[in-house]
Amino acid sequence: MEEKKVKNDHLEGLNPAQKEAVLHTNGPLLIFAGAGAGKTKTITCRIMHLIKSGVEPKNILAITFTNKAAKEMRDRVLTALEKERGLANTPYHEKPFISTFHSLGVHILKENSRELGLTRNFSIFDKSDSQKTVRDIVRDMGLDPKQHEPNKILNIISREKGDLKNAQDFAESISGENHTAAHGLISQIWTEYEKRLRAEKALDFDDLLLQTYKLLKNHPAILEKYQNLWQYIHIDEYQDTNKVQYMTVKLLATKHQNLCVVGDIDQNIYSWRGADIKNILNFEKDYPQALVVLLEENYRSTQNILAVANSIIKKNTNRVEKNLFTKNAEGDKVSLYAGYNEAEEAHYIANKCKELIATGISAREIAVLYRANFQSRALEDAFLTKSVPYQVLGTKFFERKEVKDIVSFVRAGLNPESMTDIKRIINVPARGIGKVTILKIFAGQKEEIPLATRLKVDQFYNLLKDIGKLAHETKPSEVIKFIIKESGIEKELRDGNDEEKERLENMRELATLAIKYDHFPQGEGIEKLVEEAALATDQDSLEKNENAVKLMTVHASKGLEFDYVFITGLEEDLFPHQRMNSVKNKEDSEEERRLFYVALTRARKKVFLTYANTRTIFGSAQVNTPSQFIGDIEESFIEADQTFEYREKIIYLEL
């Protein structure tokens, strides 16, 4: 790229390290960005600098891991582009492509669907679709899903796909000495699972990545097209990439080598789902000409919070040395509370949240983090008792049954071979079509169905045909309204009880949400809506940003920030976590420490640490040792909170 003189107003407010990263436009670049060090600002400014230096926006690709992060980056870039267009009347005809890895996969696969024997409107199986399909397969094999858990089987399949293996590769890899009965069973189930996906013209989440890689690897002309299109590539959270993501990026970046990766080894917390820390550690081996930049100035947290975080993470050895610093205020000390049991711990937290809210602090600026999902039960009980508004991260809008039903109508209208969707909605609302009839439909024996029932089936398929036609002719919001009315759902629910009326409201909310896609060309908007439904994540449930205290796992909190953060359950074997029947090793220990570091650095103003001396797990009370992480913090940074007295403590003592 030829550098041309540009106005440097987009560089204002950058610190020296950020500016160095922004100005390095040609060749590989590795940015180690500490928590709260302004990485999104840096990437955004770098993209703007490239455009102002003469790079066409369409030649820029930026990939991150969550929909929330992608939306934030996209909004910032487009706002800056609009501002620049207004000032200089620059003809920015096309936009940079900013998305998640999975959305990138959908985009590439849709553009090349014929090469894979798919239609452009292939279905995307979400987690529940995949679990249901595997559960059906297990049952069809005469096995018990309780003994052969679909979720565990899918986790194994997911890890293997992340390592670039398909069902055939897996079958070959377990031959000979590696073969066990369990492996053989998984291989059988996986083979049948792929067969059912193909029959429905569907892909699952992991296929969106694996099939994209295989497409690019096996079709040089297609690869070259995208290499020439995306000449400047940015990858956020590079420490969280797995093998298939790493190899896909490598393919796309090979021709021009203009690859900027941003990451933080200290925030690598996803090894359990395939993230390989070696991808970022070996970046300089992969790209010997790379410039390395450290972003160490934190703009989020107080000095005390950073001092504690630095002291925690420096005990890890598998990292690049860096030390976060800030010009922010010194701030409060970290509060520490020890509860008698999990109920007292939870009531302390709920009470403290109530006190904070009473002082004028917004409930949405408070987060309660825990290591394991089961911890939320005691917390929810306490928040309900204290009448403190709360929201548990993970209740996704698109996972509600009624919303999934409407999306299934759209998917089946676009892809009539999606048997999973048809099976889901053929009796929504009730049409009197029984299981035997459904089996005959799927077996292609429609002529054997009694005439009266066949008429009902024909009506249903005519509705799907109308939906498919309408999807390509009108706005997405109108399609959703059409389904709600013409399917008979509205008629069934509008005069029902409160719960049924709420379900109808959720469906109407989907129509409202669809409005944001109404401006897309005909047919494209509805595809985007279906894609959003399939790729929604836990963090997307916070989009409405209810004014309530957020309850979530530490893993789910990554990328978020709050003024006040409670880190709970700080007990040995809970946090740091000890998995059942597993032996502690150095890698696991370091990842647990990184997880605590991530939890600490979510906070802007104040951190509260809590633990329980006894906790009931799997029905039995356990006496706990406080977490080693507490002992790693210098006493000068901690203040014990002994002001709370839980009135029900005596009851538990007597028990």
Return the active site residues: 39-40, 236-237, 267, 602
CA dist., res. 404 & res. 399, Å (int): 6
Q: 375 and 569 in contact (C-beta within 8 Å)?
A: yes
| Residue 475 to residue 483: CA distance in whole angstroms | 13
Cβ atoms of 416 and 201 closer than 8 Å: no
Q: Do residues 454 and 437 lie in contact, with contact meaning Cβ atoms separated by under 8 Å?
A: no
| 405: CB partners within 8 A, 6+ apart | 424, 425, 428, 489, 507
How far apart are alpha carbons 499 and 19 in whole angstroms? 54
Rounded distance between C-alpha atoms, residue 482 and residue 279, angstroms = 48
CA Rg, the chain, in Å? 27
CA–CA dist 29, 262 (Å, integer): 8
Is-cis flag, bond preceding 576, omega within 30?
A: yes
Give counts: helices (H), strands (E), the chain. Answer: 28, 16
Q: Which residues contact 132 (CB under 8 A, 6 or more apart)?
A: 150, 420
Dihedral angle, C-alpha 337, 343, 347, 349, nearest 10 °: 50
Burial class (CB within 10 angstroms; exposed 0-12, middle 13-18, buried 19+) of 196: middle
Which tokens go with 542? Answer: 């916070």
Lookup: tokens for 544: 């409405």
Provide the pairing of β-strand 259-263 with 232-235.
parallel
**∠ CA 362-365-371, rounded to 5°:** 140
Q: What is d(CA 638, CA 338) in angstroms, rounded to the nearest whole number?
A: 13
Q: Where are the beta strands (DSSP E) in 126-252?
A: 202-204, 232-235
Cα–Cα distance between 426 and 454 in angstroms, integer? 13
Which has the closest alpha carbon to 633: 602, 606, 597?
597
